[in-house]
Structure 1
Amino acid sequence: MPEAIERCEYAFTCPLPNGLHARPANTLERLASGFSSRVSIVNLNNQRVANAKSVLSLVGADIKSGDSCVLKVGGKDCDEAYRAIVHFLETEFVSCDEALPAPPSASRKNWLPPVLRNAGVAVLFGLPVVSGFGRGKIVFVQALRLPEGLDEAAPVCVEQELKNVDQAVAELCRLISQRLEKKNLSPTEIGVLEAHLSIAQDVELVAYIRKAVKEKHLCAGRAILEAFAFFSSLLKAARSELIRERIADLRDVCTQLIAELYGTTDQASVELTAPSIVVAEDLTPSQFLNLDKQKLSGLVLRCAGAT
C-alpha cells in the first residue's frame, strides 16, 4: 500500500505592513525548502496559490498587509514542517519587514526654474526620486535580448539545451555565492546578491525554463526570455509597488543566465567616459552597481521605483 501522506493547514492574516515582498519571502522560502513536504500558501483575497519554496511564486501571490491566507503542508515530514513554519509565522514573520523610503514628494510638481521656462525648451516630466539636477551626454542601455547572430531557427537538441540550462544555473549560483564571500561589501550589495541568488536557484523559475525547452523545443536562451516574460507579468500585476520593482532583479538574473549560456547578451556593461545621463527602459541592480558613479550625472528610467 502507498504510504499515507499527512496534510496540515493553518489560517493566518499577513501582518507585514508592506506585504509579502522579497525580504520576508526569502526567509520563508529558506525555511520551507528545508523540508521534503510540499508547502504552499493560498491568498484567499485573490485565490492565488504560491509554492513556498519559490520566492517568485510567493511574491507573485501579491499578499498584502491584512490579506487572509492559508498555509498548506503535505508530505512525509508534514508535522515537523508544519510546526516550524507556524512557529515562524507566529513569532518572527512580522519582524522580517523593513521600513521603506518615503515616497517622492509631489510638491512643486512639473516645476521649472524661470530661466528654462522662459527659454521655451521642450520638457518631458517624470517622477523625481532625488533632488537636484544633472548634466551630461545621453547613454542608452538596451533591453534584455539574445545575442545577435544566434540562430534560433536551427534544430534544437532538447537534452543538450536542458544540460545547458542546468550548467548555466549552477555556474551563476556559484559565482554569486563567491561574490557574497568577498569582504567589504556594502549592505546594498549584499542585499542585491542575496536576492539574485534566491532567484537564480528558484525552483519555479528553473522548472518553467526546462518546461519551455522540453515542450516547445526552444533553445535555452529563448526559454529564459519566456520565463522572464511570464514571471514579470505576475509581478507587474501586483498591487504592491515594492513587488513590481522586483522585476529588475528578475531581469538581472535572466541577463546573467544568458551571459553564462552564450558569453554575452548584447547588454555589455555600460562604460561611461564622461559625465553622462543613462537612459533605459530599466536598469538592473548589477548594471547600476557597475556604473562609474564619478561620471554618472543622472538616470532616466521608464520602469523604476523609489527603491
Structure 2
Amino acid sequence: MLKGIPAAPGIVVGKAFVFGKEDLDVAPIDITEDQVPLEISRFEDALIQTRQEIIALQKKIAADMGSEHGEVFDAHLLVLEDRMLIEEVISRVKKEKLNIDYIFSQVLKRYAHVFSKIEDEYLKERISDINDVGRRILRNLLGRMRKGLAELEDEVVVVAHDLSPSDTASMHKNRVKGFITDIGGKTSHTAIMAKSLEIPAVVGLEIATEQIKNGDIVIVDGASGTVIVSPDADTLKKYQVQEEKLKGQTETLAAIRNLPAQTTDGRHVTLAANIEFPDEIPSVLEHGADGVGLYRTEYFYMNRKDLPVEDEQFEAYKNLATTFGDKPVIVRTLDLGGDKFISQFNLPKEMSPFMGWRAIRFCLGRPDIFKTQLRAILRASVFGNLKIMFPMISGVEELRRAKEMVEEAKKELKGRGIAYNAGIEIGAMIEVPSAALTSDVLAREVGFFSIGTNDLIQYALAVDRTNEKIAYLYEPTHPAVLRLVKNVVEAGHRANIWVGMCGEMSSEPSLAILLLGLGLDEFSMPSASLLEIKNVIRAISYETAKKIAEEALGLATGQEVNTFLTSRLKDLLPQMYGN
C-alpha cells in the first residue's frame, strides 16, 4: 500500500502502464570550428519544429476540451522564446566546441536544478513546463519519436514519475482509467487536469515507478490518496465492488442534477461550488451548482514575475459573472500566506505562517494590491451577481477597514466614470475562533457569513492541518468545532443574514445532515461532491435533521459524533452507504 496526495476523487482497479522516463542522455562529441554553424542551424530547426508541434497540440486540445485547457501550452511557447536559454546554448557551443544536443541537455539540467531549489511551490511545479519543452526539443534534435498516451490501445492506469501537461492533456479519457505519479502536488497541472477529466488520480507517491511494474494490478483511491499494488483476492474484490457501486451511484445522482436541493418538508438550501481555476467552470455547470460559493483568486498571482493588473483581473471576473448570470459568485479577496507563498511579495519567513501576515492582514498592509483587486471586482459586478468576501477576519476593526477600502475603490471608479454595482453584497469568512465567538457583532456589518472550516478547525484545536504527525487530532466533529459552527449560524440568523460554509466539512455526506439541522443556508464544495450532498438533503426532512443535530451536540467526543452521524446516514440511504 502506497500513500500519496489525493489529486482527483474516485476508485479504479486496472492494469498498470508504466510511462517511463525517456533515456535522453546525450554523450559529448567534439566538433570543429567549421561545424559550429551547422550545429546552431540544427538547434534552430529543432526549435521551429517544436513550436509547430506545440501549436498543433494546443489547437487540438482546445478543440477537444475547451480553450482554457489549450492555454496551458502558452507557458511552453514562452520557454521556446526564452532568449537567455537560447543564447546560453549557442554561446556554449561556440566556446566549448561540443555537439548542440549535448550542450542543450546540460543547459536544460541546469535550469531544472535551479527551479527545483525554489521554495515557492507554485514556481517549483513549473519545472514540468521546462522539462516538457526541453524533452521535445531534444527528441527533435536526436530524431526520435515517442509514443504518447493518446495512442494507448488498452484500458490502463498510467504510472509515471511525472506527467507533463501535454502528456495529461492528450490522453484518451476512455483508455486511461486513472493515474499516479511520483511527484506533483494538488496545484500541479496534472492534478488540475485530472479533476477536470474526473479521472481518479494520486500524486506525490515518490516511489510508485520503483514499486510498480507494467501489467501489475493496481487500485487507485483518489479520495484518500491510497494506491494498492498487486492486491490479494479479498482486497481486490472489495475495491471492485466499491468501484461498481460508485458507477451505479454516479448514474443515480445524475438523475437529480436539475432538481432543487430541498428537504422532504420543503426547506431549500443553496448548493454552490468552490473553484480556483477557470478550468473548473465546466465541471461546476455540469454538476448543476446554484453558483460559486468560493472563488479563490490567488491563482492570478501564481507562476509569474509581475503582479496582475486591474484590466487582467477585470476580464477574468467579468467572464465568471457572465458565465453564471443571475447565479451568485462569491469572490474571496486575495488570501496569501499560510501554505500559499508568492515569491515576488517577499513575504517574511515566519515561525507560524498560518497565524502570521496573511489574507486580510496582508491586503490591509498592501492597499495598492488590495484596491487593484477590489476595483476589478467592482467593475465586473455589473455583468452578473458577484459578491465580495474577506478571508481570515478576526475582529470588527479589520472588517470595517476592509469595507472602507471598498468604498475608496468605488470612489476611484466613480471618478473615472466607470460603472459598478453600488450595492454589491459583502461578506466575511468565519475561520478564526475570535470571529466565531463575536459573530453577533460581525453580523451587523455584512450581508452574509461563510464558515471556512479548514482553518477554523486547526485554530480551534491547535492542530496544524499540514502536519501528518498530528493529523489524527484534526477532527471536524469535535464538540468545540460544532459549538462554534452553531454559534455562527445562530448569530447570523438573528441578524437576518444568510450563513454558508465553504470548508471541506460541507462536502461530507454524514456532516451534511448535521449542518442542515443546525440551519446552514448554503453549502459550497468541490463540484464533484455537489450531487452527493444534494441527494442527502433531498432524502431527509428538516425537522429530522434538527433532532439529529441536537443529539449530536450532546455527545462528548468527536468520535462519538462521527459514529452517530455515520449510523444515521446509513439508515437514511442504505442503498448508498450501507455495508
Distance in 2, Cα, partners of 1:264 & 1:290: 19
2:4 is aligned with what amino acid?
G
Distance in 1, Cα, partners of 2:116 & 2:96: 25
Per-residue CA deviation, residues 121-147 of structure 1 (Å, 9 max, x unaligned), is xx1111121122222111112224338
1:44 paired residue number: none
1:164 paired residue number: 42
2:19 is aligned with what amino acid?
V
TM-score (norm. length: structure 2): 0.29
Shift of 1:215: 2.8
Distance in 1, Cα, partners of 2:118 & 2:27: 35
> Is 1:218 the equivalent of 2:98?
yes
Which residue, 158, 177, 200 being the options, matches 1:278? 158
Distance in 2, Cα, partners of 1:209 & 1:160: 14
1:124 is aligned with what amino acid?
L
1:1-307 paired onto structure 2 within 5 Å: 123-146=1-24, 152-153=28-29, 155=31, 157-177=35-55, 184=63, 186-264=66-144, 267-270=146-149, 271-306=151-186, 307=188
Q: Secondary structure at the residue paired with 2:179?
A: strand
> Which 4+ runs in 1 deviate beyond 6 A?
none
2:59·2:70 contact (CA, 8 Å) conserved in 1?
no
Matched residue count: 182
Compare 177-186 and 238-247 and name the one that shifted more: 177-186
Per-residue CA deviation, residues 208-256 of structure 1 (Å, 9 max, x unaligned), is 2223322333322222221221111121111211111111111111121
1:152·1:219 contact (CA, 8 Å) conserved in 2?
yes
2:161·2:183 contact (CA, 8 Å) conserved in 1?
yes
Distance in 1, Cα, partners of 2:132 & 2:68: 15
Distance in 1, Cα, partners of 2:37 & 2:11: 53
Shift of 1:198: 0.6
Distance in 2, Cα, partners of 1:178 & 1:291: 15
Give the direction of change, closer, same or farther, for the CA distance of 1:222–1:268 in structure 2 (3 Å limit).
farther
Q: Secondary structure at the residue paired with 2:157?
A: strand
Q: Secondary structure at the residue paired with 2:184?
A: coil
2:29·2:98 contact (CA, 8 Å) conserved in 1?
no
1:213·1:220 contact (CA, 8 Å) conserved in 2?
yes
Per-residue CA deviation, residues 2-49 of structure 1 (Å, 9 max, x unaligned), is xxxxxxxxxxxxxxxxxxxxxxxxxxxxxxxxxxxxxxxxxxxxxxxx
1:146·1:221 contact (CA, 8 Å) conserved in 2?
no
Distance in 2, Cα, partners of 1:144 & 1:224: 16
Q: Secondary structure at the residue paired with 2:6?
A: coil
Shift of 1:195: 1.1
Give the direction of change, closer, same or farther, for the CA distance of 1:174–1:291 in structure 2 (3 Å limit).
closer
2:30·2:98 contact (CA, 8 Å) conserved in 1?
no
2:40·2:100 contact (CA, 8 Å) conserved in 1?
yes
Distance in 1, Cα, partners of 2:96 & 2:154: 45
Shift of 1:197: 0.7
Per-residue CA deviation, residues 237-281 of structure 1 (Å, 9 max, x unaligned), is 11211111111111111121123223316x431342222121111
Whichever structure has more helix as a proportion of its residues is 2
Per-residue CA deviation, residues 141-194 of structure 1 (Å, 9 max, x unaligned), is 2224338xx775464632211111112112322443455566736234322221
1:135·1:275 contact (CA, 8 Å) conserved in 2?
no
Give the direction of change, closer, same or farther, for the CA distance of 1:282–1:181 in structure 2 (3 Å limit).
closer
Distance in 2, Cα, partners of 1:180 & 1:277: 24
> Unpaired segments of 5 or more residues in structure 1?
1-122
Per-residue CA deviation, residues 78-113 of structure 1 (Å, 9 max, x unaligned), is xxxxxxxxxxxxxxxxxxxxxxxxxxxxxxxxxxxx
1:278·1:300 contact (CA, 8 Å) conserved in 2?
yes
> Unpaired segments of 5 or more residues in structure 2?
189-579
Give the direction of change, closer, same or farther, for the CA distance of 1:175–1:272 in structure 2 (3 Å limit).
closer
1:259 is aligned with what amino acid?
R
1:158·1:213 contact (CA, 8 Å) conserved in 2?
yes
1:138 is aligned with what amino acid?
A
- Which structure is higher in RCO with an 8 Å CA cutoff and minimum separation 6? 1
Distance in 1, Cα, partners of 2:72 & 2:178: 21
Compare 207-216 and 252-261 and name the one that shifted more: 207-216
Q: Secondary structure at the residue paired with 1:138?
A: strand
Distance in 2, Cα, partners of 1:243 & 1:269: 26
What percent identity do the matched residue pairs reach? 23
Give the direction of change, closer, same or farther, for the CA distance of 1:192–1:218 in structure 2 (3 Å limit).
farther
1:137·1:274 contact (CA, 8 Å) conserved in 2?
no
Q: Secondary structure at the residue paired with 1:184?
A: helix
TM-score (norm. length: structure 1): 0.53
Distance in 2, Cα, partners of 1:299 & 1:208: 36
Distance in 1, Cα, partners of 2:157 & 2:184: 16
Compare 207-216 and 250-259 and name the one that shifted more: 207-216
Distance in 2, Cα, partners of 1:210 & 1:145: 24
Distance in 2, Cα, partners of 1:212 & 1:278: 38
Q: Secondary structure at the residue paired with 1:145?
A: coil
